[in-house]
Every structure is written in structure tokens, then in C-alpha cells.
Amino acid sequence: MSREPCDRCEELLQDFLDRTLTDAEWQEAEGHLAGCDYCSRRYRFEASLRRYVKTSAVERMPPGLMSKLDELRGLDATA
Amino acid sequence: MSEPEPDTEARRIAKEARDRARFEEDALSFADQVYRVARRLVGSREEAEDLVQETYARAFRSWRSFTPGTNMRAWLLRILTNLNVDRGRKVQRTPQTQPLEETDYYLANKLASAGGEEVLETDEVVERLSQDSIVNALAEIQPQFRDVVVLVDIGDFTYADAAQILDIPIGTVMSRLHRGRRALKQHLAEEALT
């Protein structure tokens, strides 16, 4: 089976999820995804991965840092 | 030119104090988001804390240069990324070489090869990747690509904001973002599946 339309769909993946495709490209991707399980699975995977990367990479501010920042208030421009 | 009336001068000073206090309150309301980005741009929690403190020290000193009504979060991150570059990214783990760039389906294909196509149908497939492997993979990306991935995908900045923060054209943001995400997936495939 030729992978050419899937290769093209792969090229459009990031911009599709970022919603930065042109109308024509959007239709091209949607048209292909409607009939291609191979690409549809990979698009869904990419969307899940992005959410997972975001939640995994977020680390909350350590306790105590906010009060250190608060102490910086009023710093003189010449200090 | 005549001297300002004493009460006019007093009102001006009082207004400036209020403006400054409001600026500081607004800036501090973004501290958690600023830290979140800082933490992924540098190698350790301690360095991220230092970087955020330096950022706020500089922001509070130069508060008059902020234009009210513009994007304060982006303004703070611009200070932070400039300071980070000035620090020479000293303690970051910087790979000596960038591996050959794979395509966007690379990680999904690797997972499908290991577990079958059906594995991509499950919602839990991404959870096979540990949080540590995500953090390590982010640290492995070259800094110029990682900066953009962190700002857009973790910091939720738009392309335009990222371009302003890093002082690069928007087209460069897009190309670095695409390459950075591919590099991330490649490192994840190496970290999690080998």
C-alpha cells in the first residue's frame, strides 16, 4: 500500500492540532483522516501526548518562593 | 518654568506609589506560571528559583518600562529568557550532538511496533511513558528548540507571544516548535522504549 497520502497527513499533524492550517489543508487532512485508521490513531495519540507532556512537565512553585518574591517589592531602580 | 504646587506633587507621588503597588501585585499573580516555565528551561529547582528571583528583581526595578495594557506575562518571560541566556545556560544539560531528526509519527510507530496498532486506541497509551521520561526528554532537546516547546506547549503562550519573548520571527518559532516536538518524541522513544 502506498503511504504517500499518509506521509502528507503526517506533515499536516502539528499544524492541524495547532489549528494553523489553511482551509484547503484542513479539508485535505480531514478528508484523509475520515478514511484512514492508521493516521486517525496517530492524530489521537499526538493530542493525548501533548496533554500528558503538559501535565507531566508542570511543577508547582516551591513553598517559600512567593514570600521571597514579595520581599523584592519596592526595589529601587538604582539598587 | 514654575515649581509644581505642593499638593499637586503630593498627588503625583501618591499616584505613582499606587501604580507601582498595582504593577507589583499583577506581576506576582503570574509567579507560579513564570516558575513553571523557568523550571523547564533550566536544569534544577534551585536554579529555577534563582532565575525567577532575578527576573522579579529586574522587573520591579524597571517597572516603569512596562506598558500598561500589554501582556505582562510575556514581558516577565522576556526578562527571564534574556537572563537565562545571559547566565550562559551554565548548568543545563546540553547534548553534544542532535540525533538525526525523525518524523512526527515516530513515537506512535515505535509504540505500535512494540504493542500492536490497537495500543494506540487506548487512552492509557501515553501513560506508559513515565513523567520522569518526559522531563528527561525535554531536558535533552537543544536549548533553542526547548525554549519554544516550553513556552508554547507548557507555558501556553501563542506563537506571537513566543516570538516576542525570544525576539525571533514567528516563522522561526513555528519551525523550532515543530523540530522541538519531533526531537521530544524521538528522545521519548529512546528513553521509554529501549
* End residue of a domain, out of B54, B86, B118: B86
| B43 band by pLDDT with thresholds 50, 70 and 90 | confident
Selected residues 53-92 of chain B with any CB under 8 Å from a CB in chain A: 53, 56-57, 60-62, 64
Is B53 close to A65, i.e. CB distance below 8 A? yes
pLDDT at B95: 53
pLDDT band at B34 (very low <50, low <70, confident <90, very high): very high
Q: Quickly tell me which residue has 517597572 as its cell.
A: B63
Q: Is residue B93 part of a domain?
A: no
**Measured CA distances, A68 to B37, B54, B55, B93, B117 (Å):** 18, 11, 12, 27, 51
CATH of residue B41's domain is 1.10.1740.10
pLDDT over threshold 90, residue B104: yes
Nearest by CB to residue A77, choosing from B62, B126, B159, is: B62
- Nearest Cβ partner for B28 among A41, A70, A77: A70
Does B25 lie at the interface with A, CB-CB under 8 angstroms?
no
Range of the domain at B127: 106-193
pLDDT at B172 over 80: yes
pLDDT (0 to 100) of residue B7: 82
Residues B60, B119: one domain?
no
**Do the chains contact at A48 and B126, CB–CB below 8 Å?**
yes
pLDDT digits (tens, 9 = 90+) for B78-97: 999 999 988 875 545 555 55
Q: Which chain B residues touch A20 with a CB distance below 8 Å?
A: 159, 174
Start-to-end CA distance of chain A, whole Å, equals 69
Please name the residues in contact with B140: beta carbons below 8 A apart, sequence gap of 6 or more: B93, B95, B183, B187
From the list B120, B134, B174, the residue facing A57 with the nearest CB is B134
Residues of A in contact with B57 (CB under 8 A): 72, 75
Is residue B165 within 8 angstroms of chain A, CB to CB?
no
Considering the entire predicted model, what is its pTM? 0.87
pLDDT tens digit sequence for B129-155: 888 889 999 999 999 999 999 999 999
The alpha carbon dihedral of A68, A71, A73, A76 has a sign of negative
The CATH number of whichever domain residue B138 belongs to comes to 1.10.10.10
